[in-house]
Structure 1
């Protein structure tokens, strides 16, 4: 909707079971920055925002920890994945594996295309698609 002034994609929120572990994954493994972390005692939750740039310019990921939750969340059938564009997807995946990332779909061409992709999982099992920017057509 390019003709809809005032709209801007801001963030995607996912619920996590161990906030410190999730922050470590997104910052140390995927190279994002922790932008802010806020506790909401009245609501019994904490939000942490991570991303590759400031929230006023870039879309970010909101990690939400609901206090007292001990059972893992069900990701469900409606959620697909987050997507990150990278150059040299093979080198990036090799480095991510060195950092302990789980890569259930190794890099390679899409089944019905030429763009190379891979999938990484965060500590809660959310899928992050890596898209080889240098292979897109």
Structure 2
């Protein structure tokens, strides 16, 4: 078995696709509308779905926003230079909600960015 994708419901699909592609550097891998169900699915990631876990954005046409679920944690992205990554995200209009630093009770360096719907994305400094 392998993890295929993670799904988020988003209120504004175009805004979310722009954030994940322009700010976080993902590629839009595929997109499909389902008129009879009144929803659109968009799959984004850092490589082909055949080899990589991807993010599925679900846009229900009649819903413009969601309450964030109490059980949702975050999406985690590994980065080679967390300080440069945070600066790049800021220059592209992204919102850093936790500056880079060691995690509580540990030494791993992390930061958090927030997407347009308020979902948290953790950035983790990868060891060289």
**Which TM-score bucket, shorter chain as reference?**
over 0.9
- Residue 100 (1) aligns with residue 66 (2): no
Would you say how many aligned residue pairs link Structure 1 and Structure 2?
Answer: 128
The two structures have a TM-score, normalised by structure 2, of 0.97
Question: Equivalents in 2 of 1:34, 1:18: separation in Å?
Answer: 15
Alpha-carbon distance in 2 for matches of 1:95, 1:134: 20
2:5 corresponds to: 11
Alignment of 1:54 with 2:48, yes or no, is yes
1:76 alignment partner, one of 48, 52, 69: 69
Superposition pairs for residues 40-51 of structure 1, below 5 Å?
40-51=34-45
Higher Rg:
1
Q: Deviations over 1:44-76 (max 9, x none)?
A: 100000000001110000000001213x21112
Equivalence for 2:82: 89
8 Å CA contact 1:88, 1:134 repeated in 2: no
**2:112 counterpart residue number:** 119
Distance 1:68 1:29 in 2: 26
Q: Give the equivalent residue in structure 2 for 1:4.
A: none
How far apart are the structure 1 equivalents of 2:7 and 2:103?
27
Q: What TM-score does the superposition give when structure 1 sets the normalisation length?
A: 0.91
Q: Which runs of 5+ in 1 are unaligned?
A: 1-6
TM superposition shift of 1:134: 2.6
Runs of 4+ in 1 over 2 A off after TM superposition: none
